[in-house]
Chains A and B, each alone.
Chain A
Amino acid sequence: MLASQRHTYWLLIVPAVLLMLVFYIYPLIQVLWISVTEPYFGLQNYEALLSRPLLHRIWLTTLRICAITTIITVTLGYLVAYAMARVGERQRTTMMFCILLTFWLSVLIRAFAWVMLLRNGGLINSALMGLGIIDGDLPLLRNEFAVIVGMVHFMMPLAVLPIYSNMSGIDGRYVSAARGLGASPWEAFWHIHLPLSKPGLIAATILVFVFSLGFFITPAILGGGKVVMISEYIQVSFEETLRWGQATMLASSLLFAVLLTLALVARFVDLKKVFGAR
């Protein structure tokens, strides 16, 4: 009886699995296939990953920007989530609304909004000049700084939401108990609250980092053509120079990078627990 019930459950996921096989796994295999067959069979495309300085630079830029973005986003996200878990119900609703609001805005609109804020004579530069803090425009736009600002802004909800959902499940009495036993506020946070919120923190870190790896529009607009991340180069290789072998190799290496990240994280933490499967 139990066994047949299990069979029924398996049947329920068949449509979804089929859909994934046809529209996701099969094209993915094709991508991998092209990466070892174009322009001819072999690993020459992957070899270029090691031998071509341009690809090194693009990958390093990508990893650097993603790492910085992740650190800043998760730190800020943690603070916001912490506040959210502690304020009253009405404030919490307002905060959640504000976070989701930016989530719903198109990535293009957000990038152009930053252009308006960061440009020479834009709000930030003119405000700083008006206050007499700076004499001339600061170079805030079309560089790595601008890209990171745009990406952090985009990623914030992705950091806040998992951390908040984890924190809202932490019983506040633990911290109270620690305080009652003589811990300072900082000690109570460091030894009690932080370890308890670790799963949310890790989930946010993974989410933000993995999403950042594939960023395309934000760096292209805010970077002014001088900050080239891996996705943009994939687009150039695929659409413009028609080097599909190179494009698919880069896309595959992006995929491997994500898997590698997960594998590394899995060595230290239980991913099932982090993503709520256990």
Chain B
Amino acid sequence: MKPRKDLSKTLYEKDLYPDEQTFAEDCALIAAERLRRGEIDRRSFVKALGLLGLAPVALKFASGSAAAQAKELVVVNWGGPAMEAYANAWGAPFEKASGTKVIIDGTGPLASKIKAMVEAKAVTWDVCDTGTGTTLVLAKQDVLEDIDYTIVDKTKMAPEFAYQQGCANYMFSFVLTYNKAKLASAPTGWKDFWDLKKFPGGRTLRKQPNGMLEACMMAAGRSQKDIYPIDLNLAMSKLKEIKESVVAWGSGSQSQEVFRTGEVVMGNIWHTRANLLRRDTQGEIVWSWQDGIVTAGMWNVPKGNPAGKETAMKFIASAQDPASQIELFKVMGNGPANPAAASMVPADMRDIDPGQPENMKLQVLQSGYWYEEPSGKGKLTNDELSREMWLDTLSS
């Protein structure tokens, strides 16, 4: 029963704990939920989890004799079914091609843990599954390796998501989600989101500004291509306009919860959670790709990783294979990062893939570059300043 125990632990600590949560972490939870409902093949899941439970132990014993050539690579994600999904989609192919064992560690690559590891010179992780926000924060702390774009292919991802110290492993979107049953008509964009008269009811926005500022800009009348540079003062005044009606979400499950309790009728939430809401309410709660904000999950490599920088980069490159990304999409719901994968998505799943051309053209790609730039206020980057101002405005 070990897997089940792990699962409930994940659900309890990572999901209920009103911690700010990364998208990657949330995907693991969604997959756990889908497994529970029998939407993912249970037999293979259980089998794989069993194997996973034993595999690290077996490896430990084996490493004594075969250590010479059996190097291992530790990939860290947010646990639960993500362990099996990553192992199948990305671990096994790389193992086969390179002979390097891939171990999936589901303990969660928190930014603070990565920093602590690198600073203590006790790094046990090779590749970490984080987000753009975490990547930028870590980059400033100087604890990540640069992505080696001679090994990792920059053309196999949207150029916006090829950061210096992180690159896309999948894509997801912040989308306008709304409760059809409680609104007279369908909102058509962020301007409608801000229109409390025409669309009365609660709203939900994220506790972190990442993905919200863009919506504020569009609500203020900026066109998609003019979102950046973001005017933070304008964004805060937009937040103030509707703040009384806003409930802020920290974790993905919270964004779902406030819709289900009826506290909000509209929200700016992750498309994976919007999809669950649509399913659970039989299409009462839906989302629109219009003016959605596409962002990406990120691979990071901590400085001084045990398997060496090159091996880590090779793993990242191998995870760019479109077929493997489709496999992950089917289980986890996070859209393939490689544009070449879009045409391989099964027809019935295209409406939940943010990377489909017809969905993509409605949306805007988030620009990490703006977040990295200095804000001009103290030594803060735009990312840091915006976090501070967002929290300040929300709590004032």
A contacts, CB < 8 Å to B: 53-54, 57-58, 61, 108, 112, 115-116, 119-122, 141-142, 217, 220-221, 224-228, 233, 235-236, 238-242, 244
Least Cβ distance of A255 to chain B in Å?
20
- Other A-B pairs, 8, CB within 8 Å; known A61-B395, A121-B262, A242-B141: A116-B261, A225-B395, A226-B395, A228-B391, A236-B391, A240-B137, A242-B140, A244-B115
B contacts, CB < 8 Å to A: 12, 16-20, 110-112, 115, 133, 137-138, 140-141, 202, 207-208, 243, 246-250, 261-263, 384, 387-388, 391-392, 394-396
Least Cβ distance of A57 to chain B in Å?
6
Between-chain CB contacts (< 8 Å), 15 pairs = A53-B392, A54-B392, A57-B396, A58-B395, A61-B395, A120-B261, A120-B263, A142-B247, A225-B248, A226-B247, A226-B248, A226-B394, A227-B395, A239-B112, A240-B20
Cα distance A24–B395 when bound, in Å? 33
**A239 in contact with B261 (CB, 8 Å):** no
**B247 in contact with A235 (CB, 8 Å):** no
Least Cβ distance of A121 to chain B in Å?
6
Which B residues touch A239, using CB under 8 A? 19-20, 110-112
How many residue pairs between the two chains, A and B, have CB atoms under 8 Å in the bound complex? 81
Closest to A141 in B: B263
**A57 in contact with B392 (CB, 8 Å):** yes
**B19 in contact with A224 (CB, 8 Å):** no
Candidate in A224, A227, A236 with the most chain B CB atoms within 10 angstroms: A224
Which A residues touch B18, using CB under 8 A? 217, 220-221
Cα distance A235–B112 when bound, in Å? 10
Which A residues touch B202, using CB under 8 A? 120
Which A residues touch B247, using CB under 8 A? 142, 224-226
**A108 in contact with B396 (CB, 8 Å):** no
Least Cβ distance of A239 to chain B in Å?
5
**B394 in contact with A236 (CB, 8 Å):** no
Closest to A222 in B: B18
Closest to A122 in B: B261
Least Cβ distance of A1 to chain B in Å?
51
Cα distance A108–B133 when bound, in Å? 27
Least Cβ distance of B25 to chain A in Å?
12
Which A residues touch B115, using CB under 8 A? 242, 244
**B20 in contact with A236 (CB, 8 Å):** yes
**A225 in contact with B249 (CB, 8 Å):** yes
Least Cβ distance of B97 to chain A in Å?
35
**B262 in contact with A119 (CB, 8 Å):** yes
Cα distance A226–B247 when bound, in Å? 8
Contact A241:B395 (CB < 8 A) given known A225-B249, A236-B20: no
Q: Contact partner of B250 among A58, A141, A220, CB < 8 A? A: A220
Contact A241:B387 (CB < 8 A) given known A108-B16, A235-B19: yes
**A241 in contact with B137 (CB, 8 Å):** yes
Which A residues touch B207, using CB under 8 A? 225
**B137 in contact with A242 (CB, 8 Å):** yes
Which B residues touch A121, using CB under 8 A? 262
Contact A242:B111 (CB < 8 A) given known A120-B261, A225-B249: yes
Closest to A228 in B: B395
